[in-house]
């Protein structure tokens, strides 16, 4: 059976014999549809409309498209969200359809709105090539954007150090705790890595960080002031950082003894209460506060390690005096 074609402004892409019933013709969708096809028993008038039998015309998306891929932040840091945006343009209007994003380890297909599709994700530390492919539609051909080389760096951190007691007595145990947290644009805390503790330039302890914290116990600090720092050594995903200096003061151990010139004493009597303070090293100085239970009954400065007050305010009964 013979086929006759009358075409104006069209481009034939491919012809394939369909047997005795005629020929199937595919044309670009951008072509003006002024065409009649006379095949055997039927006529196809305009692209994609089949009247009768024996032949069809199929529209194919061949209008060129262009895709551009961009990153919201590059480089980014560990666990910081990155938004990749693909903008697809065509000869007339905004193409519709989907865009597939691929980072090697991750793939996501997003539907476009007004020619644009976006994908939000996070990465571990490292570099990867991110691609975006417009998948085409009935009008527009698929297109690939130039890949974006996305670099993810370790997140910056800040470290602090604290002590459970300050001042501390010589020979007494002090717990130093280092805390490390991520700083903007990230949040959270490392759960690995090592924290080292220093007294000046001398390391006095080291512990593995768990949930952003590490603690060491030290009991051999000498008398005087000590410049304590905590230094996080960094990990795969977090940078190293060192705390500001914390001054730890170590003082001699002391003991306080109380005596009274009258015990028992008549009610209303003038009673002198004396506090004697001794230390492992030197003679203590400072102020002594005397109390009857939770009520302060006087203060006095230490002289040669002793201080005393005289009071007539004690009522009849038993009194627990402390200093």
pLDDT in tens, 23-41: 333 333 333 333 333 333 3
| Residue matched to tokens 């895709």 | 67
**How far is residue 101 from each of residues 29, 98, 104, 264, 308, measured CA to CA in Å?**
26, 10, 9, 90, 82
- Residue 60: DSSP 8-state: E
Task: Name the nearest CA neighbour of 230 among 259, 199, 274, 254.
Answer: 199
Residue-level pLDDT at 34: 34
pLDDT: which is higher, 209 or 43: 209
What residues are paired with 71 via a beta bridge? Answer: 84
Distance CA 2, CA 43 (A): 13
Summarised one tens digit per residue, pLDDT across range 198-233 is 999 999 999 999 999 999 999 999 999 999 999 999
Residue-level pLDDT at 50: 31
Summarised one tens digit per residue, pLDDT across range 153-190 is 999 999 999 999 999 999 999 999 999 999 988 788 99
Task: Name the nearest CA neighbour of 148 among 90, 78, 64, 76.
Answer: 76
CB 41 within 8 A of CB 74: no
Quote the pTM value. 0.66
Distance CA 115, CA 91 (A): 12
Distance CA 280, CA 269 (A): 36
**How far is residue 54 from each of residues 28, 36, 57, 58, 158, measured CA to CA in Å?**
21, 14, 11, 14, 76
Q: Can you count the helices (H) and strands (E) in the chain?
A: 0, 30
Find all residues with CB under 8 Å of 220, minimum gap 6, and list them.
none
For the chain, give the mean pLDDT: 83
Distance CA 260, CA 321 (A): 10
Residue-level pLDDT at 169: 93
Lowest mean pLDDT: which of 40-49, 274-283, 309-318?
40-49
CB 254 within 8 A of CB 277: yes
Count CA atoms closer than 13 A to 230's CA, side-chain side. Answer: 29
For 108-132, what is the mean pLDDT?
97
**pLDDT above 50: residue 64:** yes
CB 81 within 8 A of CB 119: no
What residues are paired with 6 via a beta bridge? Answer: 36
Distance CA 306, CA 256 (A): 9
């Amino acid at each position: 059976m013979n086929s006759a074609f009358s075409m104006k402004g069209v481009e034939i892409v491919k012809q394939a014999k369909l047997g005795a019933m005629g020929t199937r013709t595919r044309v670009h969708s951008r072509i003006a549809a002024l065409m009649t096809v006379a095949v055997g028993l039927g006529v196809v008038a305009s692209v994609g409309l089949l009247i009768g039998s024996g032949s069809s015309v199929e529209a194919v998306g061949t209008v060129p498209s262009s895709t551009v891929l961009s990153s919201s932040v590059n480089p980014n840091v560990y666990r910081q969200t990155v938004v990749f945006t693909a903008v697809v343009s065509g000869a007339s209007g905004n193409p519709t359809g989907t865009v597939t994003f691929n980072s090697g380890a991750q793939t996501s297909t997003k539907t476009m709105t007004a020619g644009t599709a976006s994908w939000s994700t996070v990465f571990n530390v490292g570099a990867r090539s991110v691609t975006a492919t417009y998948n085409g539609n009935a009008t527009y051909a698929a297109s690939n954007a130039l890949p974006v080389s996305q670099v993810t760096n370790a997140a910056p951190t800040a470290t602090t150090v604290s002590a459970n007691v300050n001042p501390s007595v010589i020979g007494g145990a002090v717990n130093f705790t280092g805390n490390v947290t991520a700083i903007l644009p990230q949040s959270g805390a490392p759960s690995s890595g090592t924290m080292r503790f220093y007294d000046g330039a001398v390391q006095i302890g080291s512990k593995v960080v768990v949930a952003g914290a590490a603690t060491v116990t030290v009991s051999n600090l000498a008398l005087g002031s000590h410049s304590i720092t905590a230094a996080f050594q960094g990990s795969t995903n977090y940078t190293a950082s060192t705390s500001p200096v914390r001054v730890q003061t170590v003082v001699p151990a002391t003991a306080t003894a109380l005596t009274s010139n009258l015990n028992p004493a008549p009610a209303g009597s003038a009673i002198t209460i004396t506090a004697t303070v001794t230390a492992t090293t030197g003679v203590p100085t400072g102020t002594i506060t005397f109390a009857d239970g939770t009520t302060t009954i006087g203060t006095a400065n230490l002289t040669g390690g002793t201080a005393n007050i005289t009071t007539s305010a004690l009522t009849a009964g038993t009194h627990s005096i402390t200093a």
